[in-house]
Structure 1
Amino acid sequence: MALVEINFDGIVGPSHNYAGLSPGNLAATSNAGLTSRPREAALEGIAKMRANLRLGLAQGILPPHDRPDERWLAALATDYGAAATYLKAQALSASPMWAANAATVSPAPDAGDGKCHLTVANLVTMAHRSHEWSETLAQLRLAFADAAFAVHPPVPAPFGDEGAANHMRLCEGHGAPGIEIFVYGESGGPFPARQRRDASEAVARAHRLDPAHTIFAQQSVEAIAAGAFHNDVVAVANERVLFAHELAFEDKAGLYADIALKAPWAEIVEVPAHRVSLADAIQSYLFNAQLVTLPDGAMALILPGEARGNTAVWSWLGEMIAGNGPIRRLEVVDVRQSMRNGGGPACLRLRVVCDPATVDPRFLVDEAKLDRLAAVIEAHWPEEIAIAEIGDPALISRICAARRALLVELELIGLLDR
């Protein structure tokens, strides 16, 4: 069984809008009220996936959720027509597009039972995301129905869990046993800490991880206060490499010592705060890049265009690439519409290490399938959504029809009856 890393990208849904629902996510709140461009956003995501395929990477997709979520509104004893404006926005959110929050994934080599484990995130900290888990669970149980996987329901409230955005894995190769690093938060500023240590520990137990190969690290209070609402805004790992900001972790020395003990082959690439401030890192989403291993064994950073546009960030990256470090290549992608809502390239994908033959093929893509999906998006996704339109019945009808057309193309029409 050949294990490879597959990036499963969330397809940006037709309800993509800028309602500013996520306190602590500076991009989302600063762009609240702007007119969004769902079609452009979804096509940017398709282009990113296409670029990954051309780099030789395996690529999958997760389709958008049913929006507005009438089942959630019904649990609140209302419906979309009668709901208050803020509930309409929360029911219509396209936030499942950020698949890094879909689940936490532990590959089979790390688990005591030899299965790849996925635990769906509960996302209870934010109302607009708290109702995602049931449809995410349905999708993951379909995509990973093979006996090689174990898909778990979310950790119960109130223990907040926001998935892979707060989880990293270091290993000598994707198919080799590794160490798993769970990053939790403690609020020390104006914004909430979204990942609870209790939740991380529960996920580690469910995944049957060896405590000797598991690390729990606290995210820097300073980083959270600066707007790093998830760990993946200040750190990312891939195989042997941890790429992190100097101020990413509350006890950096303790974490680095633990890594040296449990993974002596690992290499830490740290970006100094005097070269790239937290503000620059967060504005550019330098660490919300996809750090990937290419087929020739070299590592590449897949970065948003905003990183190239930030002088401090781009200058430091240029010096890094000119050196003899493990990250040898920079690839820049345009995901501007997602970035304006607070999600970079890494937010859009869930990493799963597995044998592709064990995945439902409807969730895997090649260039030809991406062509077909792009055609559906061109034909059905709204070009623009102004905030004043979110209660418009005609818009809601178009959003629902667009998602249906995509599910028909993917032969996943059964998800309409979840």
Structure 2
Amino acid sequence: MNYSEYNFDGLIGPTHNYAGLSFGNIASATNAGAASNPKEAALQGLAKMRAAMEMGLKQGFLPPQDRPHLKTLRALGFSGTDKQIIEKAAKAEPQLLANCYAASTMWTANAGTVAPSPDTGDGKVHFTAANLAANFHRSIEADTTSRVLKHIFKDEKYFVHHPPLPGGMHFGDEGAANHGRLCKNHDDKGVHLFVYGQDGEKFPARQKLRASEAVARNHLLDPAHTIFAQQSTTALDAGAFHNDVVGVANGAVLFLHEQSFADRNAAYAAIREKAPFVEIIEAPAAAISLEDCIKSYLFNSQLLTLPASNGAGGEMALLLPQESKENPRVKAFVDETVSRNNPINRVIYKNVRESMRNGGGPACLRLRVVLSEEEAAAADRRFILDDAKITALENWVNAHYRDRIAPEDLSDPALMEESFAAMEALTVLLGMGKFFDFQR
């Protein structure tokens, strides 16, 4: 059976702004209060998707969620018309209003965890939407994320959907940002690497061991093909709030920083025991500091297996943010890595600055889903991109998005009205019906 990897990127929403809501995310805190450019953000994201497609890779997308999330504001005691709710929240709880305006669903590496059918006990693709319990503005995403995933992957013959984990912070789950799959080929039985955290001295850990263990159980993963490794508190306190800031796994390659794991030797030993085919490509701390990693998002790159049709079967490309090119130490390490005899032999730098200013690099913007030809055919093809569809999305962005949002704009009901009009137009474009909470 022929399997392919699909990258489902989050389509950046019309209320993209810099409210500094994510504790432990240094870029988010640094840029809090600055003016954002939602139109440029969405077009940058779409340009990245187009670049992957031009390399022959399969590309999908997830729609934004409806923001501001009036359902949450109503549940918290704000009443009246939609306009009155915004006005009351802006006066009484402006920070709460900012949370309900966050366009953070754009970072779909946190949408959930996916296990492809070769790895699961029942031979189906399993999805668990992340509860994102560590941050309020993200925790309100989980229900709609589940609904979106079920909408796209609805055929029960092929797909199984699990609800977000219960238990709040005790079972805090941040999705694929702390999970990687190692395999020789997509259709082989893979080894799943779950990375969890313990609170550091500066910042709390978001991914809990019990959450990773629960997801592995629900997905019917073979314990002999599953690894649980602890992230280092050194990396966490440096600003690696998710493991994908300091490491990325793809196929038979693990590309990461020397200080990624709490016990580097034990983690590497477990990986080599259960996935002996893996090549570990490590950046030594002496060459690349954690500060360099956090600022450049070197390891929050997309590590992509190039299709055999390009004459490069098994070879890999790094899709990096422009900030990695602008850091001389990081650029030198990337050049040296590509020059060596390893699968990574191509580098593409893309401008995703609007996302980066909120602490999200190329890898944050995508959820990887491995599908057989039959499974892909069963998915909703409206969310699988081709040139015409991506052009239609670009036209939609240009028609509906602002090119500037400042913090004070969140109190203006006109922004809500514009956002809802944009989302209404998107649901029409995609034939989704009355899908989002504001439409019901």
TM-score (norm 1): 0.99
Partner Cα distance (1:230, 1:402) in 2: 31
The farther-off stretch of 354-363 and 164-173 is 354-363
2:238 is aligned to: 226
Following TM superposition, by how much is the alpha carbon of 1:349 offset from its aligned partner in structure 2, in angstroms? 0.4
The secondary structure found in structure 2 opposite 1:350 is strand
1:410 is aligned to: 430
1:353 is aligned to: 370
Following TM superposition, by how much is the alpha carbon of 1:154 offset from its aligned partner in structure 2, in angstroms? 0.5
Partner Cα distance (1:358, 1:352) in 2: 13
Letter in 1 for 2:243: N
Following TM superposition, by how much is the alpha carbon of 1:3 offset from its aligned partner in structure 2, in angstroms? 1.5
1:39-79 C-alpha deviation (Å, 9 max, x unpaired): 00000011001110000000001000011111111221224
Partner Cα distance (1:407, 1:44) in 2: 21
- Which of 227, 243, 252 aligns to 1:240? It is 252
- 1:149-228 equivalence runs, <5 A: 149-158=159-168, 159-228=171-240
The secondary structure found in structure 2 opposite 1:82 is helix
Establish whether residue 123 from structure 1 lines up as the match of residue 132 from structure 2.
yes
Establish whether residue 330 from structure 1 lines up as the match of residue 340 from structure 2.
no
Runs of 5+ consecutive residues of structure 1 not aligned to the other structure: none
- 1:13-412 equivalence runs, <5 A: 13-78=13-78, 79-83=85-89, 84-146=93-155, 147-158=157-168, 159-295=171-307, 296-297=312-313, 298-355=315-372, 356-412=376-432
Partner Cα distance (1:315, 1:61) in 2: 33
Following TM superposition, by how much is the alpha carbon of 1:157 offset from its aligned partner in structure 2, in angstroms? 2.3
Following TM superposition, by how much is the alpha carbon of 1:383 offset from its aligned partner in structure 2, in angstroms? 1.2
Task: Among all aligned residue pairs of Structure 1 and Structure 2, give the percentage whose two residues are the same amino acid.
Answer: 54
The secondary structure found in structure 2 opposite 1:66 is coil
Following TM superposition, by how much is the alpha carbon of 1:237 offset from its aligned partner in structure 2, in angstroms? 0.4
Runs of 4+ in structure 1 over 2 Å off: none
Partner Cα distance (1:230, 1:271) in 2: 18
1:377-399 C-alpha deviation (Å, 9 max, x unpaired): 00101111001111101111111
Contact 1:45–1:335 (CA<8 Å) still a contact in 2?
A: yes
Partner Cα distance (1:394, 1:188) in 2: 41
Following TM superposition, by how much is the alpha carbon of 1:2 offset from its aligned partner in structure 2, in angstroms? 2.3
The secondary structure found in structure 2 opposite 1:276 is coil
Partner Cα distance (1:193, 1:397) in 2: 36
Partner Cα distance (1:122, 1:73) in 2: 19
The secondary structure found in structure 2 opposite 1:287 is helix
Contact 2:87–2:412 (CA<8 Å) still a contact in 1?
A: no
Partner Cα distance (2:166, 2:350) in 1: 36
Following TM superposition, by how much is the alpha carbon of 1:174 offset from its aligned partner in structure 2, in angstroms? 1.2
Letter in 2 for 1:134: D
Letter in 1 for 2:317: A
Partner Cα distance (2:227, 2:87) in 1: 47
The secondary structure found in structure 2 opposite 1:270 is strand
Following TM superposition, by how much is the alpha carbon of 1:81 offset from its aligned partner in structure 2, in angstroms? 2.8
1:17-42 C-alpha deviation (Å, 9 max, x unpaired): 00000010000110000000000000
Partner Cα distance (1:265, 1:317) in 2: 23
Partner Cα distance (2:340, 2:53) in 1: 27
Count residues with an aligned counterpart: 418
The secondary structure found in structure 2 opposite 1:273 is coil
The secondary structure found in structure 1 opposite 2:87 is coil
The secondary structure found in structure 2 opposite 1:81 is helix
The secondary structure found in structure 1 opposite 2:8 is strand
Contact 1:382–1:399 (CA<8 Å) still a contact in 2?
A: no
Following TM superposition, by how much is the alpha carbon of 1:411 offset from its aligned partner in structure 2, in angstroms? 1.6
The secondary structure found in structure 1 opposite 2:56 is coil
Following TM superposition, by how much is the alpha carbon of 1:414 offset from its aligned partner in structure 2, in angstroms? 3.1
Q: How big is the alpha-carbon RMSD for the aligned residues of Structure 1 and Structure 2?
A: 0.9
